[in-house]
Structure 1
Amino acid sequence: MAVRFRNLFGLFIIFFLSFFPTSSSCPDHQKQLLLQFKLLFLKGNTNISLLESWNSTSHDCCRWDRVICTSASPFMIVELHLNSLPRILPNFFGISPSVLAPLFHISSLMQLDISGNFFQGEIPAQGLANLTNLVYLDMSSNSFNATIPTQLYHLNNLSYLSLSFNRLSGSLGPDIQYLKSLIRLDLSFNALGGNIPMEIGNLIKLEHLDLSFNVFFSGGIPVSFLNLTQLQVLDLTGNQFSLQIPADIGYLPNLSTLRLSNNKLAGEIPLSLFNSTQLQVLDLSHNQLSSQIPTHIEWLPNLSKLILTNNMLTGGIPQSVQNLSNLETLYLEDNLLTGEIPSWLFDIKTLKNLFLGGNKLAWKYNNSVIEPKCMLSFLSLRSCGLSGEVPQWISSQNGLQYLDLSENALQGTFPLWMAEMQLVYLVLSGNNFTGSLPPQPFKDSLAFLDLSRNNFSGELPENIGNATGIKVLMLSSNNFFGPIPSSMSYLQNLQLLDLSNNQFSGNTFPVFGDSLELVNLSSNEFSGEVPVSFSNKTRILILGNNRFSGTLPRNLTNLIKLEQLDLHDNRIAAEFPNLLTEISTLQILSLRNTSLQGPLPNNISNLGSLRILDLSHNNLTGTIPDELGNLAKMIEKAKPNSILTSYAMAPFIAASSFHVTDLIVSWKRSMLALPSAPGHDDIYSLLDMSVNRFSGEIPASLGQNETEEESSFSGTGALIGFPVGFCLTLLIVFLTGWFQATTEVGSVRTRRRQRGTTAPSRNRGR
């Protein structure tokens, strides 16, 4: 596409030649403008090596790097390729668009590429308005903000415009119709919103339109799109489009790619779509479509990718799919499809990627021999009713990289041939596998291994450390025992390790690699001192329900990025570890039932990032320090994607999440689990100090702010189920149980959220 645009420049250049005086090199005033830009860009620091050919001693700026002039006299600058300039210290934290001002006086400019820099601020509207000859403008991958200026819409020679990957907001104005020469428009990855103006249908030369991942575009897809008869690519992914897909969308004769995923589109897949015989990519995933998969799908002979994941599609897989002779990718996961998985799917020779999991489809070939004619790279048969041993035919898929057979009824031992495959991603969780892991090591291509929730047993083989490519290792909820192999220290790429709910034991641990961020060793039989052989990048450390004892090691403070520390149900048997107050990054701390004793230190307020604190079921005594009310983060709502709302880890966001699952809190004498699913951000903060032996008053700092209701407690009885609010946001605080008041308990106030108080759900008892 870019080559085609550059070929257009030749025609424009011939036209403009007659308007400029003859010269043997670029005009001096254009040279001076470039030098001014360089000086502004470097903020006057001429010692920095950047654009070195741009200097006053070189007379012909047409020979400078990133500059293209007309090929014959008169020589004028027509192209500037200033994309991805090296990040230098003066501009490391952003560049003002004002440094572009000299370039806006080069009126002969036809192509300007300033993408991949760090320009920050509003788009310089007045300056760009001077470049009336622009045909190609790329301002993508910067930090431009505010709205798209209307002046930009009046550069009516533009055939290519990209403003993607910025921070633009507001809506598209009707003046966009004046970009009548536009062939490619890319506004993806911004924060644009509102309805798309009907006037966009006047851009009748448009071949590529990308408005994806703006989040805020809403309403229906405008029917004026049907005027864009030259359109080849339409991408509206990741917005808020609703209603139905336009019934006549199929009457775009040149459409080859249609991506409408991650919206709120409902209704049926329009039958007209199957008139788009040039269609190669159809992605309607993550919507609310509720029809069956139309049998007319076979009318799309060029279709190579069909992605319908995460809708409400019903019925079976139509047999007409087998007539798609160019089909490479078929994603039908997470719908309401029923019936059998047809064996003819594996006869589609071109098929490479097949995802069928999360439906009500049934696998009927557990005892049958299948000889696939395809060679798959990605295969998901999650929750498809597989039973018996792993189908042998999978071993013939030599190019397989991704295999998900989770949530089935597979049994037997781990297939030896599977360890020999060059897999990158392997998920067998939620089955009935038994026996030990294979003696031969996994290939170093393996990056993600999830064998959790099976009946595997035995010790982990020492050669597990040979799989040096592993980034995620999840072996929870099996019957593994013995020590953690020392060879795990060789897993230098390991980022997530989950060995919870097994019978691992021992008191020595390997020195884990520097990449490790998330660790869950809970519910095993480890003993001795709390281990500290973790990376200083570790963010989540869950060691609860083991047999650790003794004081916490001083080296724990080396975990400078630690956000969650869970040591519940161990035997620390000491006063509150003062060293924990030095880990200022902690957001979640659970020391429940660890035999803590003595008073809480006043410097607990040093834990300024703390949102959840569970000190219940201990022998803590003395008064509750007033400084506890200074934990400022407990009044803030958790941000999306924070440690409190999601533990998904790139690049495996879709595959696995690492959630808080056993922070148990007290509520009216019941033990309840903190909700573990992403999106449960109604619980902003939590303090559980129940079942201790505190005395004295509840500090006024826990409830001295503006309130909507007031409760008073006095006497020496136990306080049952009393929630205490901090400042502007509801905080669920549990002070139930053995609180012995030796003096009159002062008035304590609580504050509800404006939309009302919600008690925690009874997800799990303990």
Structure 2
Amino acid sequence: MDAQDFWVVIVIGFCFQAQILSSQNFTCNPNDVKALEDFTSSLKTVIDGWGSSFSSDCCKWEGITCSSSFSLGIGLNNSIDTFRVVKLELPSKRLAGNLSASLGTLDQLRTLNLSQNYLIGTLPTALFHLRNLELLDLSFNDFSGPIPFGIDLPSIKFLDISQNLLNGSLPGSICDNNSTQLRVLNVAANYFSGNLPPGFGDCTSLEDLDLSTNYLTGTGDAIPKGLFGLRKLTQLSIQDNKLAGPLSEEFGNLINLVRLDISSNGFAGTIPDVFYSLEKLQYFVAHSNRFGGQIPPSLSSSSTLSLLNLRNNSLQGSIALNCSAMISLTSLDLGSNQFDGPIPSNLPSCRHLSDVNLARNNFTGEIPENFKNFHSLSYLSLSNCSLSNISSALQILQQCHNLTTLVLTFNFHGEQFPADPTLHFEKLKILIIAYCRLTGSIPQWLSTSSRLQLLDISWNQLEGTIPVWFGNFSNLFYLDISNNSLSGEIPRSLTGLWSLINGRSSTEEPSPDFPLFVWRVSGRGLQYNRVWSFRPTLDFSNNNLSGAIWPDFRKLRSLHVLDLKYNRLSGPIPTSLSEMVSLETLDLSHNELSGIIPPSLVDLSFLSKFSVAYNELYGVVPTGGQFLTFSSSSFEGNSLCGYDASPCPSGEDGPLGTWYGKSNKDYTGVIAGLGVGFVFGIACFVGIDRYVWTF
């Protein structure tokens, strides 16, 4: 290049830069303006910053990016056609209504992102014929119907229509018409059905394919062979469908896979021994299928695998992990299978393993002695594993200094809850030792676990009183000591639980696909749950507790569930409970409570379950608020009236207590009369029925 050519290039560069910098004043093509106008007219909401009148300066509107014809390679001119809309990005703008087909006339559009809105209707066919479109994101809306037939998106690289109401079959021609640049395809969480189309094998550039949570079917060759030729694929998510049959050995051809999720399908047979070739695989999730046999050697010795989840299958035999090879393993979930023999004692040698779920298997014996060297262990669930010797188990596990979650339900049946004062779990946040029928009392060593957030020791045979030091657990948001034989008063210190006063403390989940424990659900047996799904709760039901309900419970404004049923609590229901503004469940049934139901409880606007059945209450059931939704079973077994099963007497001949629930003007005179009577005839009140004292 000579000097003259050099300066020509420089001048052209400055001109191009000036063209771009002048974009603050440019105007967009009138055809694009018309397309955007039609787009807004199909919406039920207004887009902030767009205004009600349209002008030619749409390139300045929020969410719009324009480019010049020069930069688009169309040719430089000074006409109004110079600037074209190349990006329309309005995610999370609460847009509602239909999507206009006019957007299909934005023929220079490269990016269209309308995700996380409230758009409805079918997908316009014209959108799938934009030849310059590179990114299309319509996820998290309410679009319905099928994907338009005859897709022609030769430039598309990113296509996300997940989290909608779309149905029909998946198009097999998505990579036809030279649409070979597609890298990300996400159609998850819709209602697509039928077989996986073989045409996916033409998407040779595909790196991320998410077909999860649909109704896709297939047996035998459920996954078309063409898909196994996608050598660039790093993530494959086909979980939560209806795919069945054996798992093809051709999965070993996907040599760049990093994450593979085939969970919640009907895959059966043995897991193929093909993981030696998957040298980049970090996550393998295959829970909730019908796999049998043993874990293949190539999987149990993978050096790259970080998360292995085979929960809820029919795998059997002993667990034989090659921990010296599995140097990356951090999360292991083999729960709900048919593994037998002893708990594998070599797990501590998996030096990065922190999350372990072996619950609901057929193990025998005790927790291995060398678990005391399990220094990386943070989460451990061994529920329903037929374990014995709880004293030894706790002595060993207390030496796991990073242990934050310990679940040992359905074990140690009938053993004594150890009271060993040397036990100490400094970092423990979650402790669940329920359904064990343990005897003894609540041990003092628990008081040293000051970080506890969730404690469940229900369904045992514990005696004695509730410790006063429970009130010192400032992070505790969930306490279940139900179905024991505890007696005495509820400690007043529990009304000062800091987390239930100021909001529950933050909780950390073990990993993206690691259920903490199995929890009971009325009428449905057991299910998996995570910490964040547990409502802030105090459950003291089915014990022998006595005394009053403290008015200071009103301070627990973040409590959602207060369950005190089947005890021997007495005295009135405190009016101050109406200040527990987050209550969803209040069960005081089967006690010895007396007096009236405080009318102020109608102010509990979130209350969905309420019962005071079988106490010694009288008067009118309050009306209004959530009380209009409660059935008669919530009030039976008392001397109450004003609900379906027991209407109140007409007129004013009933007991004075039945006047509660009327408006103030209905009994103002009565109260005044009683006041005068009190002043001039106090001696006459000695023999009056207790109903009078409710005022």
Indicate whether the TM-score tops 0.5.
Answer: yes
Counterpart contact for 2:63–2:90, Cα < 8 Å: no
- Cα distance in 2 for partners of 1:419, 1:478 equals 24
**Residue in 1 aligned with 2:585?**
540
Q: Report the AA paired with residue 567 of structure 1.
A: V
CA distance in 2, matches of 1:422, 1:537: 29
What's the secondary structure of 1:243's corresponding residue?
A: strand
Distance 2:45 2:146 in 1: 30
Deviation at 1:488, TM superposition (A): 3.3
Specify whether residues 414 and 103 from structure 1 end up closer, same or farther in structure 2 by C-alpha distance, changes over 3 A only.
farther
- Indicate the residue corresponding to 1:262 in structure 2: 264
CA distance in 2, matches of 1:149, 1:468: 56
Does the 8 A contact of 2:187 with 2:210 survive in 1?
Answer: yes
The amino acid that maps onto 1:429 is A
Quick check: 1:250 aligned with 2:248? Answer: no
* Cα-to-partner distance string for 1:356-414 (whole Å, 9 max, x where unaligned): 11101234446x35442541232112233042324334334444332212222164446
Aligned to 1:404: 407
8 Å CA contact 1:192–1:217 kept in 2: the answer is no
Which of the residues 67, 87, 111 maps onto 1:80?
87
How far apart, CA to CA, are the structure 2 residues paired with 1:81 and 1:469? 46
Contact preservation (8 Å) 1:440, 1:463: no
Letter in 2 for 1:548: L
Relative to the length of structure 2, the TM-score reads 0.72
- Structure 2 equivalent of residue 328 of structure 1: 330
CA contact (8 A) 2:348 2:370 kept: no
Contact 2:541/2:566, CA 8 A, preserved across alignment? yes
1:577 Cα deviation from its structure 2 partner: 3.8
Aligned equivalents of 2:229, 2:254: Cα separation in 1 = 8
Amino acid in structure 2 at the alignment position of 1:168: L
Query: Which structure 1 segments of 5+ residues have no match?
Result: 1-17, 605-766
What pairs with 1:493-532 in structure 2 (closer than 5 Å)?
493=503, 495-509=536-550, 510-511=553-554, 513-531=556-574
* Farther-moved stretch of structure 1 (25-34 vs 377-386): 25-34
User: Residue 61 of structure 1 aligns to a residue in which SS?
Assistant: helix
Residues 19-98 of structure 1: pairs in structure 2 closer than 5 A: 25=23, 26-29=26-29, 32=33, 36=37, 40=41, 50=49, 61=59, 67=65, 69=67, 73=71, 76=83, 79-80=86-87, 82-87=89-94, 91=95, 94-98=96-100
The aligned runs of 1:392-471 (5 Å cut-off) are 392-409=395-412, 411-413=416-418, 421-431=426-436, 432=438, 434-436=440-442, 438=444, 446-471=452-477
- Report the alpha carbon displacement of residue 445 of structure 1 after superposing the two structures with TM: 5.3
TM-score computed with the length of structure 1 as normaliser: 0.66
Partner residue of 1:612?
A: none
Take 1:381 and 1:582, find their aligned partners in 2: how far apart are those partners?
41
Q: Structure 1 residues 371 and 445 mapped into 2: Cα distance closer, same or farther (>3 Å)?
A: closer
- Identify if the C-alpha distance between structure 1 residues 375 and 157 changes in structure 2 by more than 3 Å, giving closer, same or farther: same
Asked if the contact 2:331/2:354 (under 8 Å) is kept, the reply is: yes
1:85 shift after superposition: 3.9
Pair 465,391 (structure 1): closer, same or farther in 2 beyond 3 Å: closer
Q: What displacement does 1:204 show?
A: 2.5
Residue type of the alignment partner of 2:111: Q
Question: Which amino acid is the alignment partner of residue 479 of structure 2?
Answer: L
Give the AA of the match of 1:173: P
Q: Which amino acid aligns with 1:524?
A: N
8 Å Cα contact 2:483/2:543 also seen in 1: yes
The question of whether the paired residues in 1 share the 8 Å contact of 2:312 and 2:336 is answered with yes
Contact 2:27 2:83 in 1 (8 A): yes
Mapped to 1, the partners of 2:569 and 2:607 lie a distance apart of 21
Contact in 2 for aligned 1:537/1:561 (Cα 8 Å): yes
- 1:60-139 → structure 2 map (5 Å cutoff): 61=59, 67=65, 69=67, 73=71, 76=83, 79-80=86-87, 82-87=89-94, 91=95, 94-98=96-100, 103-126=103-126, 128-139=127-138
> In 1, distance between residues paired with 2:125 and 2:629?
43
For 1:551-566, list aligned pairs within 5 A.
Answer: 551-566=596-611
* Shift of residue 562, structure 1, vs aligned partner: 3.2
What does 1:629-648 align with in structure 2 at a 5 Å threshold? none
Change over 3 Å in CA distance of 1:326–1:355 after alignment to 2 = same
Work out the CA distance in 1 between the residues paired with 2:104 and 2:452: 52
Helix, strand or coil: the match of 1:338?
strand
Equivalent residue, structure 2, for 1:317 = 319
Structure 1: distance between partners of 2:120 and 2:423: 50
For 2:275 and 2:35, locate their aligned partners in 1 and report how far apart those are by CA, in whole Å. 50
Which secondary structure state, in structure 1, belongs to the residue aligned with residue 248 of structure 2? coil
The secondary structure found in structure 2 opposite 1:333 is coil
Structure 1 residues 123 and 63: CA distance shift in structure 2, 3 A: closer
Find the aligned partners of 2:85 and 2:239 in 1 and give their Cα distance: 35
Closer, same or farther: CA 474–37 of 1 in aligned 2, 3 Å: farther
SS in 2 for 1:351: coil
Quickly say closer, same or farther: Cα 1:28–1:295, change in 2 above 3 A. Answer: closer
Shift of 1:23: 11
CA offset digits 1:154-185 (Å, max 9, x no partner): 21321211111122122213333424332211
1:157 equivalent in structure 2: 155
Query: Within the alignment, does 1:586 sit opposite 2:637 as a pair?
Result: no
Identity %: 28
The answer for the alignment partner of 1:142 in structure 2 is: 141
Q: Render the CA deviation track for 1:17-50: whole Å, top value 9, x for unaligned.
A: x9xx9996455316745874796588686xx854
More helix by share: 2
CA, structure 1 residues 235+536, in 2 after alignment: closer, same or farther (shift >3 Å)?
A: same
Code of the residue aligned with 1:517 in structure 2: it is: H
Contact in 1 for aligned 2:35/2:105 (Cα 8 Å): no
Whether the 8 Å contact between 2:394 and 2:423 is mirrored in structure 1 is no
Q: Displacement, 1:328?
A: 1.0
Q: Is the 8 A contact 2:481 2:539 kept in 1?
A: yes
- Report the structure number with the largest CA radius of gyration: 2
Aligned-residue offset at 1:355: 0.8
SS of residue matched to 1:238: coil
Instruction: Specify the alignment match of 1:647 in structure 2.
Output: none
Write the distance in 2 (CA, Å) between the matches of 1:416 and 1:193. Answer: 60
Matched-pair contact (CA < 8 Å) for 1:267–1:288: yes
Q: 1:313-337 deviations in whole A, cap 9, x for unaligned?
A: 1101014355211111110011111
Higher alpha-carbon deviation: 499-508 or 444-453: 444-453
Correspondences of 1:7-22 after superposition (within 5 Å): none
Letter in 2 for 1:67: T
SS in 2 for 1:258: strand
Q: Which residue of 2 aligns with 1:174?
A: 172
Specify whether residues 208 and 76 from structure 1 end up closer, same or farther in structure 2 by C-alpha distance, changes over 3 A only.
Answer: farther
One-letter code aligned to 2:570: S
* Residue matched to 1:341: 343
C-alpha distance in 2 between matches for 1:285 and 1:174: 28
Give the residue type in structure 1 aligned to 2:130: L
Equivalent AA in structure 2 for residue 301 of structure 1: S
Cα–Cα, structure 1 residues 37 and 419, in superposed 2: closer, same or farther, change >3 Å? farther
Alpha carbons of 1:508 and 1:601: their partners in 2 closer, same or farther (altered >3 Å)? closer
Paired residue type of 2:562:
V
